[in-house]
Structure 1
């Protein structure tokens, strides 16, 4: 498992194009959107440390924001692409660890068996 650190500028350049573009909100509605790089760093911190979302350090956006975007990225396969781009071979270990902590099925990277246990094992 890789040691966690904030994304470097070079890493951010590689993965920023993988993340969907968010439409800005009108100035008169709600809070401004959280910085996508900070959200991604927060989500990676949770995954790598095996921590709960609520225990995220305060340097990241609110954990609810990070969790909501992570779930959207996970469900659409974006997070898998980010894993593969950032971690290469270590992506498999991170994927298994994430699958062990999340109850919903996660699409496995190519060559990796699905991490969701059979219904009879629950």
Structure 2
């Protein structure tokens, strides 16, 4: 489902390479099951709407996954 907070394809094309540059390189213990775009859209949805992380719509990855990435990326 599309939300007004989601990045468009054109926005994601610009943002994805920047995200790769700013994220710290870490040893990945296991691959993620979710695309970074879905995770980032979940973060944008929460920030725009101010909802609790647990109240993210089911269209996004699990809230614990979105919140974990938010904490990691915020510290970058």
| TM-score in terms of structure 1 length | 0.50
What residue number does 2:45 align with? 45
Residue 57 of structure 2 aligns to a residue whose secondary structure is coil
In structure 2, runs of 5+ residues without a counterpart are none
Superposed structure 1 runs of 4+ greater than 6 Å apart: none
Report which of the two structures shows the higher radius of gyration computed on alpha carbons. Answer: 1
| 1:50-86 alpha-carbon deviations (Å, 9 max, x no partner) | 111000000000000000001111111xxxxxxxxxx
Q: Distance in 1 between the 2:71 and 2:18 partners?
A: 15
Residue 37 of structure 1 aligns to a residue whose secondary structure is helix
8 Å contact 2:46–2:52 — kept in the other structure?
A: yes
In structure 1, runs of 5+ residues without a counterpart are 27-31, 77-122
1:5 CA drift (Å): 3.0
Q: Distance in 2 between the 1:24 and 1:39 partners?
A: 18
1:17 CA drift (Å): 1.2
What residue number does 2:30 align with? 25
Matches within 5 A, 1:97-108: none
Greater shift, 15-24 or 50-59, is seen at: 15-24
1:7 CA drift (Å): 1.0
Residues paired across the two proteins, number: 69
| TM-score in terms of structure 2 length | 0.76
